[in-house]
């Protein structure tokens, strides 16, 4: 028999229906074709992890790492832009046009 896979969204919806009283355990199991032991496990996991929604900095590690990488890239680009602007300023200065680089 092929094992079914359920998405996190589906599991959350079914558990919320159960917790809110919209459906009884028996109704949910019948309607979705799942065993009561599986639904009990989903509910237990849901309740054990519910506090994480309110934890500070609960963003995923991947997102935080990507943000840090982008911040580093922006910093590097700012430095490159400042160096290019400084080089342009030196090249475009009146002294450079007159051929005198040391003010003489």
**102 located within any domain:** no
Residue 104: alpha-carbon gap to chain centroid: 58
Is residue 103 a part of any domain in this protein?
no
Please give the average per-residue pLDDT across 13-21, as a whole number. 94
Same domain, 36 and 65: no
> Is there a domain that residue 24 lies in?
yes
Query: Is pLDDT above 80 for 99?
Result: no
Tens digits of residue pLDDT in 33-56: 999 999 999 999 999 998 888 876
Q: Are residues 2 and 49 in the same domain?
A: yes
Q: What percent of the chain is predicted at pLDDT more than 90?
A: 62
Distances from the Cα of 78 to the Cα of 8, 41, 75, 82, angstroms: 41, 51, 5, 6
Q: CB burial class (10 A; 0-12, 13-18, 19+) of residue 34?
A: middle
Nearest to 31 by CA among 43, 18, 49: 18
CB 29 within 8 A of CB 39: yes
Structural domain for 43, as ranges: 1-56
Tens of pLDDT, residue by residue over 21-30, are 999 999 999 9
């Amino acid at each position: 028999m092929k094992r079914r896979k359920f998405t996190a969204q589906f599991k959350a919806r079914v558990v919320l229906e159960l917790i809110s009283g919209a459906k009884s355990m028996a109704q949910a199991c019948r309607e979705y074709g799942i065993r009561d032991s599986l639904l009990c496990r989903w509910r237990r996991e849901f309740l054990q992890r519910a506090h994480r929604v309110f934890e500070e900095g609960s963003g995923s590690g991947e997102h935080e790492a990507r943000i840090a990488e982008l911040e580093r890239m922006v910093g590097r680009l700012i430095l490159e832009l400042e160096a290019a602007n400084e080089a342009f300023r030196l090249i475009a200065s009146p002294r450079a046009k007159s051929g005198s680089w040391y003010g003489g």
